[in-house]
């Protein structure tokens, strides 16, 4: 067994353990997310929609078309909070892992004579 295989196993265990912990935290903590409007929505409600007969319709009109409409149903407005937490953690992990792989390849190329 080579030295890199021995040193890689603990790293993989830590990464997988960290991922599992992050997914659990994302699933549990996102269930406690506030249903109150975020800062931008709150500002629009206090300024633009203050005198509107139906502030929610005014807020929807003020938002205009969504920049990204490809979110699965329920994830766009965090209707399924725990699932949104898991998807967010997994997306961050995938992006971070991809960047680490790219950076690792660049280092390997630079270190080979």
Walking along the chain (113 residues) 10 residues at a time, the average pLDDT comes out as 60 84 82 72 84 86 67 59 78 87 72 62
Q: Which residues contact 19 (CB under 8 A, 6 or more apart)?
A: 89, 93
Rg of the chain over Cα atoms, rounded to whole angstroms, equals: 22
Around 101, how many Cα atoms within 13 Å sit in the side-chain half-sphere? Answer: 6
Q: Token pair of 10, please?
A: 């603990």
Is residue 26 within 8 A of residue 86, CB to CB? The reply is: yes
pTM of the model: 0.49
At 4 the pLDDT is 55
Rounded to whole angstroms, the maximal C-alpha distance in the chain is 73
């Amino acid at each position: 067994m080579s030295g890199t295989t021995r040193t890689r196993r603990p790293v993989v265990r830590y990464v997988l353990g960290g991922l599992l912990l992050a997914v659990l935290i994302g699933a549990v903590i996102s269930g406690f997310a506030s249903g109150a409007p975020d800062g931008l929505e709150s500002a629009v409600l206090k300024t633009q929609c203050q005198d509107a007969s139906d502030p929610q319709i005014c807020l929807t009109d003020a938002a205009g078309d969504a920049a990204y409409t490809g979110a699965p149903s329920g994830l766009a407005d965090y209707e399924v909070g725990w699932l949104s937490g898991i998807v967010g953690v997994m997306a961050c992990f995938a992006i971070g892992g991809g960047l680490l792989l790219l950076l690792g390849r660049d280092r390997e190329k630079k270190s080979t004579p």
